[in-house]
Structure 1
Amino acid sequence: MWRKRYQSFWVLGLGMLLGLLLTGCGSAKTQTPPGPAESTAAPKTGAGPVESSAIPAESTENSLAVALVPTATNGTAESTFQQVLVAFQEGRLEAVFDFLPPSHQAEVEQLLQTFADKMDPELWSELFQLLNKSANLLKSKKELILSLDGVKKLPQIDAIKPYWEGITNGLRDAATSDIADLKQLKRANTRQLLAAGSRLLAGMQLPSFADIEVTTVQATDEQATLSYRDAKNAAPKQVEFVRVEGKWLPQSIATGWPVAMADAKARLAELPSQLAILKPEALRQMSSIAGMLDQLQGAKTKDEFSAAAVPLVFTVAFGAQMAQQAMQDAATTPRQGNAVHLIINRELTDGELTRLKTAVFESLGDSAANTDYEFIPNDGKTRCRFVPITDLPSLLTVLKKHFEGTSVRLDAETKTIFVDGN
C-alpha cells in the first residue's frame, strides 16, 4: 500500500529518520553501551568487502558485501543502493542521511525545527517524563517483567532478551537527552540526533537485507536502471535512479520529493489545532499512566506486579485507540464527501505510480498540499483514492490525457473512475 509514501527502501529509511527524530532520539547527556558487542560492529572502508556480522563474507560481488566509500557523493547508483541497505540493516541512520542531496537535508532540518516550533511544550515534556519512567521500570523490574505469563508467550521475546539492556539504556538516554526540551530541539543538529538514534537502534534486532542481490541494467552519468531481488522472490524488480546534486536517488523519490515536503509542511501547520483537541484527554491519560508506572515500580512480588500491570495495559491500549481515532476524525471528517476513487485494471509499477501521482498533483496546484492519496496495487488491479477533490471534471481530463489510448470512464454516482489496463 502507498499511503502518503513510496514503497522503497529509501522511504522506509526516511520514515525511520523522521520517526526517530520526532520521538526522542537526541544527543544523550550520558552515553551507555547500546547492546551486544556484535550489534555495534562498524563496516570497514577500503577496497575489500564490508566486514559485518549481518553480512556474510562469502557474498557475491552483486550482493551487499561492497566496499563503503568515504563520501556519499562518489560511486555508482548500484553501490549507493547497496550501501544504503547496509546502513539500514546496521542501524546507521546518520549514514543514510548523508546519502540525501544537500537541499533535501536542509528541508529535513527545517521540518525538524518546524515540528519543535509547532509541538505543544507541556505534552512533549509529559511524554518524555513517561518515557523516562518506562525506561527505569524496564531496567529495574526486568526479572519481574520476564516472569509474567503473558510476556513469556510473546513470540518475539526470545529475540528481545539479548538486547534488553541496550533497549532500556537507549530509551533512558533518549528520555534524558536535550531533545526532551523543545528549545534544544529547535537548535539541534539533525546528523548528531540521528547518530544518537543509531545508538538506540543498536539495541534492537533490525531487518536484514543480506540476501538482496543488486545489478545494473543500464547506466549513464546521470541516470541508471537497477535490478534487485531477494532469495524469496525469483522475479527481479527494477528501480530507476537519477543523480540529484551529485547524489544518487530513486527516480520516484526525486520526482515525489517536492509534493512530499509540501504535504509534510501542511501537516505540521495543522498540528497545533489537532493537539488542542487531543491535549485535555492526553494529559489525563498520561497522568493516569504515570501513576500506574509508579505502582509497578513499587511492586515487590510477581503477583503485585501482575495485578498492577493489567489496568496499565488496558489504559494504554484504550488511550492509543482514542487518540488515533481523534486524529483520524480531525484529519478526514470534513474531506470524506469530496473523495474520488480510481480503479485501474492492472497493477502499476512504482515508476508508473509515481508518474500518475505527479500528473494528478501538478493539476491540483496549491490545493495539492492539502490532498490525501492512497495507492493499493493488489490482485491484478490498482486502487487509488484522492481526497478532497473539488473539480472532478478537471481530474477526469487529466486522467484521460495520462492514460491516452486507454478507456477511462466515470461513474458519477459513486465518484469512481475506471481505467482499462491495456
Structure 2
Amino acid sequence: MPCPSLLFALRSALRHPAGFPPIRGLLLLTAALSIPLSLSMPGLASGDQWTDVSGQHTINADFLGVWGDKAVFAMPNGQRRTVLLKHLQAESRLRALDLAEQRKAHREEVKNELLEIQAAQRAPSAARIEGPAESAPPYQPLPVGASLQDTLDHNLQQTRAGHLRVTWDTLPKSYQQDIESLVVEFAKKMPPKIWNDQIAMINRLTELLASREDWVFSHPQVLAMVSGMTNDEQQARTNYRSVIGLIQTLTDPQYVSLERLQQGNLDGLIAELDEKAAGYLQPFLPLIEPTLPTSMIAEKVDDTHAVVTIVMPNSPTPAAGGPSQPGGQPYPGAQTYPGSESYAGEEAYSSAEMPVMEEGMDGMPAMPGGMPGGAAPGMGMGGGPRGGLVIKMVQVEGRWVSETMAKSWESDVERFRKRIGEMPGSLDSFVFMLDAMRQWVNLNLSPLEAAETREAFHSGMDQIVADFALVAMQALGRPPRANNANDPYNADYEREMGSGNEMDYQNQSGYEDGSNYEAMMQGEAMEAGQPPLQAVPQP
C-alpha cells in the first residue's frame, strides 16, 4: 500500500487554498518525483518476497513497475531484474499488477492536478463577476403623498443605500415618458454594428481584467499603487471586482441591447438594473459619502414653489429654518436662522441658470435636464446662506423638480430628438473614436489575452500600467480648486460654465396673497437697505 503520510502531504499541497500557484506546482513536482523513491520504504514494496510459479524460487526485491509483460524489481545489491509476469506465482503476479495500477492512478492524479494549476494560472478567476461581495438594502419607493421635505430626505436615504433608481422615480411621469420615447427612438436609429462593437469591446476588456485578477495584482507597479492607497489588499480586490461587475451589469445585452431598448418599459429596466448594480456600489459608498449633502432643508413659498438649502459636509449649518434673502431677513413664511443678521449683503437666495449641455466627444447631446458635476439630480444650483447651495423648486405633476429643469425641459427634449433624427450621419466623429479605441484594444489586449504565464502577462502590462500611473499622478497632482469662506462651494465653477444668477419669477402668476414673488423680494430688499435685484433675462 502507498505511504499514507506521503499521500496526505500530496493532497494537502494540492488542495490547500493558499494563493501561491508556483509553490504548489513545485510541491506537486517534488511529490511526483518522490513516489518511486518512497516505494522503497518499509511498508510499501521494500524487500517484499516474490515467488515464481513453481514455488521453489523466492527473491527479496523492491517492485519498480510493470514494463509490457514483465515485472521490474530492484535487487538489494542495486541491480535491476525483470521477470515475466506469467512466471510469477499467482499471488505475486496479482500483487505486482495491483501495485502497477496504484502507481498509474497516482501518476494520473498528479498529472491532472498539475494541469488544473496550469489552467488556474492562465485564468485565475471567472471571466464574469457573478455577484457583488455584499448586498444592498432593499429599495424603498417614495410614499404616496410625500411632502417636499420627505422627498428630499428619501432621495438622500436611497442614494446612500446605493439606489440610483431614486433619481428616475422622482421625475414627473411626463418626463419619464419623454425620456423613454427618446431611448426607443435612439435604439431604432442607432446602427446595430456600431452599438454592438462598443459593447463587445467593453466586455472583452472587463472579462480579461476579471479572469486575470491575480496576475494584475501581482504586477510590481500595481502592488506599489495599491500599497500607496491602502494597506488592505483584500478591500482593493473587492473594489476592483465591484467596478468590473458594475460595468458588466450595465453593458449586459440582456438590459442594453438595441432590441431590449426598443421595447421601452424603462421603469422595469431601471428597476432590474438598480437591483443588480446597487450591490456593486456598496464598497464605494464610504467614498461617495463626503460628496453627498448632510441634509436638504425645504421651505415652501406657496403650494407649487419652494426653495431648498443644500447643506454639505463641513459647511456651516443653519440652526433652523430656511434660507434668507438679501439683508439677512427671512423670506415671508420662512423661519429665521439665528445670527442671520450677520449675513447682510450676501446674496442668499439665487439659483444659477444651468447650462444646456451640448454634444460631447461622441457627437451626442446630453439627456434633457443634464446637470454639471456636483449638482444634485434635477436641481439647479446657486449660492446660498453661509456659502451654501440654494435651489428653486417647482411642482410638476405632483413631483418636485428644479425650476431651471422645468423651464428648459421641452426645448431640451426637442434638441435631443433632432440630434437623434440626424443619425447615423451625425455619428461620424463617434465612429472615428470607436475605431481608434478598437486599434488600441487590439494592440494592447491581444498580447495579454495570449499570455500563458504570469511573466508574459506582466511584460504586456508594463507599458499600460506606466501610462496609467502617469495619468493618475497628473490628475492627483492637479492643484485643487480654491476653497475659501466666501466661496466654499466653488461658485466660480458656474461662472466658468457661463451660467449666472437667476431671480426671474416676474413672469409667474401671483401667489395666494395676490402679490408677485419678484416684486415681493425686491420690496423686502429695499426695506433692508439693499438695491433691488434685477431679473436676468431668460434665453
Quickly name the TM-score band, shorter chain normalised: 0.5 to 0.7
Encode CA deviations 1:384-417: one digit per residue, 9 max, x unaligned.
xxxxxxxxxxxxxxxxx9659xxxxxxxxxxxxx
Q: Residue 272 of structure 1 aligns with which residue?
A: 424
Tell me if the contact between 1:35 and 1:203 (Cα under 8 Å) persists in the aligned partners: yes
Higher normalized contact order (CA 8 Å, seq sep 6+, divided by chain length): 1
Query: Which residue among 286, 296, 313 is the counterpart of 1:231?
Result: 313
Query: Which residue among 122, 135, 143 is the counterpart of 2:214?
Result: 143
Describe the SS at the equivalent of 1:203.
Answer: helix
Percent of matched pairs sharing the same residue: 20
> Considering only aligned residues, what root-mean-square deviation do their CA atoms show, in Å?
3.9
Q: Residue 88 of structure 1 aligns with which residue?
A: 159
Q: Which runs of 5+ in 1 are unaligned?
A: 1-29, 46-67, 318-342, 359-400, 405-422
Describe the SS at the equivalent of 1:34.
Answer: coil
> For residues 217 and 263 of structure 1, do their structure 2 counterparts lie closer, same or farther at Cα, with a shift above 3 Å needed?
same
Shift of 1:245: 0.5
Shift of 1:100: 0.6
> For residues 224 and 89 of structure 1, do their structure 2 counterparts lie closer, same or farther at Cα, with a shift above 3 Å needed?
same
> For residues 148 and 348 of structure 1, do their structure 2 counterparts lie closer, same or farther at Cα, with a shift above 3 Å needed?
closer
Aligned positions of 1:187-202 closer than 5 A: 187-198=263-274, 199-202=276-279
Q: Distance in 2 between matches of 1:316 and 1:267?
A: 34
Describe the SS at the equivalent of 1:112.
Answer: helix
Encode CA deviations 1:364-395: one digit per residue, 9 max, x unaligned.
xxxxxxxxxxxxxxxxxxxxxxxxxxxxxxxx
Query: Which residue among 36, 40, 55 is the counterpart of 2:134?
Result: 36
Q: Which has the higher Rg, Structure 1 or Structure 2?
A: 2
Matched, 1:185 2:281: no
After TM superposition, the score normalised by the length of structure 2 is 0.44
Aligned positions of 1:278-317 closer than 5 A: 278-279=430-431, 282-283=434-435, 285-286=437-438, 289-290=441-442, 292-310=444-462
The one-letter amino acid of 2:175's match is H
Encode CA deviations 1:203-260: one digit per residue, 9 max, x unaligned.
1314226651222334432222222212322223322221101111122222222232
Matched, 1:75 2:146: yes
Q: Distance in 2 between matches of 1:218 and 1:349?
A: 29
Q: Distance in 2 between matches of 1:260 and 1:160?
A: 40
Aligned positions of 1:359-398 closer than 5 A: none
> For residues 124 and 140 of structure 1, do their structure 2 counterparts lie closer, same or farther at Cα, with a shift above 3 Å needed?
same
Encode CA deviations 1:177-203: one digit per residue, 9 max, x unaligned.
234531222114212332343223531
Tell me if the contact between 2:215 and 2:454 (Cα under 8 Å) persists in the aligned partners: yes
Encode CA deviations 1:88-145: one digit per residue, 9 max, x unaligned.
3333233321111110000110121122123221121111112222222122111111
Q: Distance in 1 between matches of 2:178 and 2:431?
A: 28
> For residues 353 and 304 of structure 1, do their structure 2 counterparts lie closer, same or farther at Cα, with a shift above 3 Å needed?
farther
Tell me if the contact between 1:116 and 1:183 (Cα under 8 Å) persists in the aligned partners: yes
Q: Distance in 1 between matches of 2:503 and 2:239?
A: 39
> For residues 294 and 243 of structure 1, do their structure 2 counterparts lie closer, same or farther at Cα, with a shift above 3 Å needed?
same
Encode CA deviations 1:163-185: one digit per residue, 9 max, x unaligned.
33333333334444234531222
Q: Distance in 2 between matches of 1:77 and 1:224?
A: 9
Q: Residue 501 of structure 2 aligns with which residue?
A: 352
Tell me if the contact between 1:164 and 1:203 (Cα under 8 Å) persists in the aligned partners: no
> For residues 137 and 249 of structure 1, do their structure 2 counterparts lie closer, same or farther at Cα, with a shift above 3 Å needed?
same
Shift of 1:81: 1.8
Describe the SS at the equivalent of 1:216.
Answer: strand
Q: Distance in 2 between matches of 1:402 and 1:194?
A: 39
The one-letter amino acid of 2:132's match is P
> For residues 191 and 34 of structure 1, do their structure 2 counterparts lie closer, same or farther at Cα, with a shift above 3 Å needed?
farther
> For residues 284 and 403 of structure 1, do their structure 2 counterparts lie closer, same or farther at Cα, with a shift above 3 Å needed?
closer
Aligned positions of 1:82-161 closer than 5 A: 82-152=153-223, 153=225, 160-161=236-237
Q: Distance in 1 between matches of 2:269 and 2:129?
A: 13
Shift of 1:304: 1.6
Q: Residue 299 of structure 2 aligns with which residue?
A: 217
Q: Distance in 1 between matches of 2:208 and 2:191?
A: 26
The one-letter amino acid of 1:224's match is A
Q: Distance in 1 between matches of 2:468 and 2:129?
A: 29
